[in-house]
């Protein structure tokens, strides 16, 4: 992602440092319905003769996002820090619990509870004890108890990654910022349909809503803070 121009659109200095014991990693919609080349969206594009439209998305997910998310998961699990998975999909056979616009997408990709497409990719699957929250809207806070869950756990800082950068990741991150969370979108942990959409979202987000950083930069910051007295594990 290129830097913002040096003008009135420059990003603000948010001035927060991630606090490991109060930070949660949110892994958003990394499911077979939306993040797999061979299922859900990927399978439908191929069946419609439009596989090329998903090439950038799935190449990035496989070669950039999954490795970045796995590095983050390793750090969080080794440090006993909070990992929360967010999924999207219907809980109803007729997809009736989703808004009409999302209902069409979920039906097209067979994305409902109990179906293989609803599952999280095996490469980054949750471990026992890790929270999985299912939403029926683009943003995770609009249709779940995620805010209450995070606050109960003492979480004030969020790392967000997943798909799509300009849809569910952005919607969740914007709502989180409005709720007072310190938010960092992990640039190489996200993917979208095109680099233009990905970059535009991150430029807009870092202007007034939060930070954008690579997984490498985030891990350096967390490791530094974890090494400080009282910073290694949640209380």
188-224 pLDDT, tens per residue? 999 999 999 999 999 999 999 999 999 999 999 999 9
pLDDT confidence band for 230 (50 / 70 / 90): low
CA nearest to 191, candidates 84, 11, 41: 41
User: Per the domain annotation, does 3 fall within a domain?
Assistant: no
* CATH label of the domain that carries residue 123: 3.40.50.850
User: Per the domain annotation, does 187 fall within a domain?
Assistant: yes
Give the domain extent around 187: 20-226
Question: What is the rounded CA–CA span in Å between residue 202 and residue 104?
Answer: 27
Residue holding tokens 């009409």?
100
Whether 189 and 65 have beta carbons less than 8 Å apart is answered as yes
Whether 162 and 190 have beta carbons less than 8 Å apart is answered as yes
pLDDT confidence band for 13 (50 / 70 / 90): confident
Residues with Cβ within 8 Å of 159's Cβ and at least 6 positions away in sequence, in order, are: 18, 23, 24, 25, 26, 72, 184, 186, 189, 218
User: Per the domain annotation, does 199 fall within a domain?
Assistant: yes
By the 10 Å C-beta count (0-12 exposed, 13-18 middle, 19+ buried), 149 is classed as middle
User: Per the domain annotation, does 1 fall within a domain?
Assistant: no
How many distinct structural domains can be found in the chain? 1
pLDDT for res 3: 47
User: Per the domain annotation, does 15 fall within a domain?
Assistant: no
By the 10 Å C-beta count (0-12 exposed, 13-18 middle, 19+ buried), 213 is classed as buried
pLDDT digits (tens, 9 = 90+) for 120-159: 999 999 999 999 999 999 999 999 999 999 999 999 999 9
pLDDT above 70 for 75: yes
pLDDT for res 14: 76
């Amino acid at each position: 992602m290129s830097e913002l121009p040096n003008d009135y659109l420059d990003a603000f200095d948010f001035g927060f440092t991630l606090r490991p014991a109060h930070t949660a990693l949110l892994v958003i919609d990394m499911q077979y319905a939306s993040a797999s080349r061979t299922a859900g969206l990927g399978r439908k594009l191929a069946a419609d003769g439009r596989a090329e439209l998903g090439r950038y998305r799935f190449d990035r997910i496989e070669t950039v996002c999954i490795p970045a998310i796995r590095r983050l998961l390793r750090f969080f699990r080794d440090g006993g820090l909070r990992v929360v998975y967010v999924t999207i999909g219907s809980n109803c056979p007729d997809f009736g619990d989703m808004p009409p616009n999302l209902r069409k997408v979920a039906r097209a990709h067979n994305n409902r509870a109990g179906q293989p497409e609803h599952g999280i990719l095996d490469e980054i699957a949750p471990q026992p004890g890790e929270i999985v929250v299912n939403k029926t809207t683009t943003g995770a806070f609009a249709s779940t108890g995620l805010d209450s869950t995070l606050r109960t756990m003492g979480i004030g800082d969020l790392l967000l990654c997943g798909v799509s950068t300009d849809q569910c990741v952005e919607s969740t991150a914007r709502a989180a910022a409005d709720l007072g969370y310190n938010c960092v979108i992990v640039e190489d942990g996200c993917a979208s349909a095109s680099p233009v959409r990905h970059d535009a979202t991150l430029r807009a987000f870092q202007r007034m809503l939060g930070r954008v950083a690579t997984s490498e930069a985030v891990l350096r910051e967390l490791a530094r803070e974890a090494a400080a007295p009282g910073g290694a594990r949640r209380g």
